[in-house]
Amino acid sequence: YGGRVPQPLPTFLVLGAAKSGTTSLAMYLAAHPQVFVASRKEVRFFDRHWDEGLDWYREHFAKAGDAVAVGEASPAYLTNPLVVERVAATLPGVRAVVLLRDPVARAVSAYHFALGLGLETRSLDEAMADELAGREGPFRALYLETGQYAAHLRRWFDALGREAVLVELFDDLEAKPREVFARVCAHLGVDATVVPDNGVTAMKVADVDGVKVSGLLLDAGTVNSPALLQVGDAGPGASHA
């Protein structure tokens, strides 16, 4: 009585993959009247800021009000096994959304993004060869490792339950954003008929992070490969076993 009311914790996380449309999806969700998304891009509590403590994390959702779904998007979460353990222990019942992109196109896009930020100094071939050989580069890029979707998804399915993880495709978000958005909303338990004011219209990956990338990346192939998606039936729109 009279004490401070604890701030909410997320009911959902957008886990990744990096360079797969997660920023656009977070923007769409933030415009939904029943959804609150942390204003800080990539809060990254469960990997980079774990030592800050749970109260620090809660502060990012202090303005959630009566939102039905509360969450954040940190694409680095997808690939980190330690994050999986921490999320499962800290956020019981959390719902997760994963966007997957053709792994080759994703790797090349991530390389150009790092190059544009000045983090990467190697040629594309050198960067990929170094990662394959286990050689360290100027930073921990994980261009190819991030695309090992089967292993990453299996950890999340095992930790949260298959029904708690919705898997969608970057190509579908680009071509049919309203359909994908409706499925995401249904997964999060909010009104799936809402079309936010920001339009949910066809996105352009080059605009996602304010860094111009090569136009050829926009013409990448799909990720509808059985080898990638046959993990607990992780097909597009899949969330139930």
Question: For the segment 61-87, what is each residue's pLDDT rounded down to a tens digit?
Answer: 999 999 999 999 999 899 999 999 999
Identify which of 47-56, 101-110, 220-229 has the greatest average pLDDT.
47-56
For 56, 111, 196, the CA distances from 106, given in Å and listed in that order, are 32, 9, 27
Q: Give the chain's count of helices (H) and strands (E).
A: 9, 5
Give dist(CA 96, CA 122) in Å, integer. 34
For 43, 57, 117, 240, the CA distances from 15, given in Å and listed in that order, are 11, 16, 22, 18
Q: For residue 30, which of 43, 20, 40 has the smallest C-alpha distance?
A: 40
Give dist(CA 150, CA 93) in Å, integer. 22
How high does pLDDT run on average in the chain?
Answer: 80
Model confidence pLDDT, tens digit, residues 75-129: 989 999 999 999 999 999 999 999 998 888 888 888 888 898 898 989 888 988 8
Q: How many residues does the chain have?
A: 241
Give dist(CA 124, CA 13) in Å, integer. 31
pLDDT confidence of residue 198: 62
Q: For residue 10, which of 97, 85, 100, 81 has the smallest C-alpha distance?
A: 97
Confidence of residue 136 (pLDDT cuts 50, 70, 90): confident
Model confidence pLDDT, tens digit, residues 21-32: 888 899 999 999
pLDDT confidence of residue 192: 95
Pairing of the two strands 12-16 and 95-100: parallel
CA torsion angle 104 27 193 35 (round to 10): 120
205 has a pLDDT exceeding 70? no
The residue type at 21: G
Give dist(CA 211, CA 120) in Å, integer. 14
200 has a pLDDT exceeding 80? no
pLDDT confidence of residue 5: 55
pLDDT confidence of residue 201: 53
Task: Tell me the pTM.
Answer: 0.76
Give dist(CA 38, CA 26) in Å, integer. 9
CA torsion angle 107 116 96 191 (round to 10): -120
CA torsion angle 230 111 166 37 (round to 10): 170
Give dist(CA 196, CA 227) in Å, integer. 35
Average pLDDT in the 214-224 region? 28
Instruction: Using DSSP, state whether 192 is helix, strand or coil.
Output: coil
Residue 220, beta-bridge partner list: none
pLDDT confidence of residue 202: 44
pLDDT confidence of residue 163: 97
pLDDT confidence of residue 188: 98
Model confidence pLDDT, tens digit, residues 139-150: 777 887 777 889
